[in-house]
Structure 1
C-alpha cells in the first residue's frame, strides 16, 4: 500500500514548498508547525519563515508564506488537519490513527517526504514532483518505508 512520496528538491532559495504543494488545496487545512529551521528573505535580511510564537497556522496564511516569499528551508515539519484537532504524531501508525491528513517533512534542505491519507492527492503530489523535475521521486510503500518517526 502507498503511504507517501519522497523526492529531492534543489538546495536553493525560492518558493519550493509552495510549488511542491500546488496540487492540493492547502487552505482547507489547519497546519501544525513542528520543529524546523526555515528563513525567508525580507528587505535583504533573513527572518524566521514561521512565527516563533506559533505552533499552528491557518491554511491561507501558510499558502501566502509558501507562495509569496523567497525562503530557504533547512528543516521543516508541517502536519495538516481539517478539523483543527491537533495531536502528537511520532510514527506512521499514530498518523493513521489521528485526524491528521498530510505530513510534510523536509530534511537537510533537499529531502522531502510527504505522507498523505488521500490516495488521489498522493498521486497528484507524486506526478507533480515528476513534472517539476524533482529528483529521485518515488512512492513510499509498506515495503520500502524505512522511516521510524514522522518528525525532523
Structure 2
C-alpha cells in the first residue's frame, strides 16, 4: 500500500512549502506545527525572523496558507501535520499513531532538501506525487509498506 511520497528539493529559498502542497487545501485544516527551523528571507517590520517561532497545536490553516504562500523563506527542518477542523490536533510521533489518529497528512522536511509526505487519501497522494514531478523535484518516489524505513514521524 502507498503511504506517502519522498523527494529532494533544490537547495533554495522561496515558497516551496506552498508549491509542494498545491494539491491540498491547506486552509481546510488545523495544523500541528512542530516549531522547527525555518526563516523569512526578509522581514520588513524587523519582527521575529522565524517562520514558525514555536510549537503550535491547532494552527489555523488560513494562517499557515498565508505564511507559506505569501512570504519568501528558507527552511532547514519542518514538521507539519494536518487535522480536520473538528478534531483534536496532537503530535503523532509514529506511523502507527498516525494511522490510528485523525491526522490526514504529515509533511516532514529535513536538512533543507529531504521531504517526506504521508497522506491517507490516495487520490490526494497521487496528486501530490504528480505535483512533485511537475515542480521538477528530484528522486520522487512513493513510500510504501515495503520500503518505509522511517521509525518516527519527526525531523529530529
Q: TM-score, normalised by structure 1?
A: 0.94
Aligned residue in 2 for 1:7: 7
**Does residue 116 of structure 2 align to residue 102 of structure 1?**
no
Give the 3 Å change call, closer, same or farther, for CA 127–53 of structure 1 in structure 2.
closer
Aligned residue in 1 for 2:68: 66
Give the 3 Å change call, closer, same or farther, for CA 69–98 of structure 1 in structure 2.
same
Deviation for aligned residue 1:53: 6.8
Gaps of 5+ in 1: none
Gaps of 5+ in 2: none
Which sits farther off after the overlay, 47-56 or 19-28? 47-56
Deviation for aligned residue 1:2: 0.2
Deviation for aligned residue 1:50: 1.6
Aligned residue in 2 for 1:42: 43
Residues 16-35 of structure 1 mapped to structure 2, 5 A cutoff: 16-35=16-35
Give the 3 Å change call, closer, same or farther, for CA 52–87 of structure 1 in structure 2.
closer
- Aligned-residue RMSD, C-alpha: 1.6
Structure 2: how far apart are the matches of 1:39 and 1:84? 29
Q: 2:58 aligns with which of 45, 56, 59?
A: 56
Deviation for aligned residue 1:56: 3.3
Runs of 4+ in 1 over 3 A off after TM superposition: 53-56
**Does residue 152 of structure 2 align to residue 139 of structure 1?**
no
Deviation for aligned residue 1:84: 3.6
Aligned residue in 2 for 1:129: 132
Number of aligned positions between the proteins: 152
